[in-house]
Amino acid sequence: MRTIKTLLASACAASLLFAGAAVAEVRDQTLRFAFQNVKEHPQGQGAQKFADLVKEKSGGKIKVRLFPGGTLGGDLQTVSALQGGTLDLTVLNAGILSAQVKDYAILDFPFLFNNAKEAQAVIDGPVGQELSKRLESKGLRTLGYWDLGFRNLTNSKRPVTKWEDMQGLKIRVIQSPSYLETFSALGANPVPMPFPEVYTGLEQRTVDGQENPNTVILGTKFYEVQKYLSVTRHIYNPQSFIIGERSWNKLNEDERKVITEAAAEAQVYQRSVSAEAQDKAYETLKGSMTTNEISPAEMDRFREKTKPVIEKLSVDVDPALVKTMYEEVAKVRGQ
């Protein structure tokens, strides 16, 4: 009898031990999240929202420490740090990831999108999903897609009302082939430069101008060292919110659930904040810069001038993805 009781007791203990082991617990830890814009920018607001949600959902056990303003280096440096496991999270223009997966370059085709709805149809659909899948082989996992808005041109020399006005201007651009090709095609001299160095470059006249969404121009105070703002809307920037695979692999099932749920909610919030901020930023910039819109006829000339860029970039990317992207954009325009 004692033997039976002993066996039953041992079986129950083993069962309880197995059940306990199967239930993962959220552990105390801190994740490091670096990004290029200031904390007050919609990018920074999205990062703070994510941090708050993670803290709430983990019962305060998982903390997200923010490093805004490029304090840990430019985008290429932070991506490398994610892959190496010395940094956990970042958010950056999705097209920059073409350095990892060439197909991301399609998101930076010049004059591709007319509005945010078109861009989000692409990144939230099969194209965005496939790009995210391909990125995993590079040690990076996509948690969502954020919004930065349309990029516009500033410079210290003259207003740009037609592409000919860009002739000879030294323009700082993202360290990406799409930007180098686009601005070369328009007659400018593109200068790749990490974001943290841009203000100083403009101030010291190493470059004449730069191109960024209105919220970035305002948040980083480029208006202090730039006179002209031209609404070129040449590229729309969806942003990839990513975590390093090494960091992801350290998380257990419950911790991953906290991160993915917080990321989904932060994405909705960040896009809303960004959309509201773009027009407000432009109105504010009007008070300190000479601004101008581009006429529809001249915008058509910009598009025509940069068609060879799209043709050149398309050679190195998956044609099936390009086809799907244009189909998704056409669906939105046909609604």
Q: What is the mean pLDDT of residues 127-134?
A: 97
Give the per-residue pLDDT at 2: 43
- pLDDT confidence band for 24 (50 / 70 / 90): low
pLDDT over 90 at 5, yes or no: no
The model carries a pTM of 0.87
Q: What is the mean pLDDT of residues 308-326?
A: 95
**Domain ranges within the chain, ordered by starting residue:** 27-333
pLDDT over 80 at 1, yes or no: no
Question: 221, 288 in Cβ contact below 8 A?
Answer: no
Find where tokens 């709430």 sit. Answer: 56
What percentage of the chain carries pLDDT values higher than 90?
91
Q: What is the mean pLDDT of residues 136-146?
A: 97
Give the per-residue pLDDT at 17: 40
Buried b (16+ CB within 10 A) or exposed e, 241-261: bbbbbbbbeebeeebeebbee
Please give the structure tokens belonging to residue 318: 């998956």
Instruction: Please state, as a whole number, how many other Cβ atoms lie within 10 Å of the Cβ of residue 113.
Output: 22
Give the per-residue pLDDT at 12: 47
pLDDT over 90 at 14, yes or no: no
Q: What is the mean pLDDT of residues 114-131?
A: 95
3-state secondary structure of 26: coil
pLDDT over 70 at 22, yes or no: no
DSSP 248-282: HHHS-HHHHHHHHHHHHHHHHHHHHHHHHHHHHHH
**Domain covering 27-333 in this structure, CATH number:** 3.40.190.170
Q: What separation in angstroms does the CA of 101 have from each of 2, 105, 131?
A: 65, 8, 8
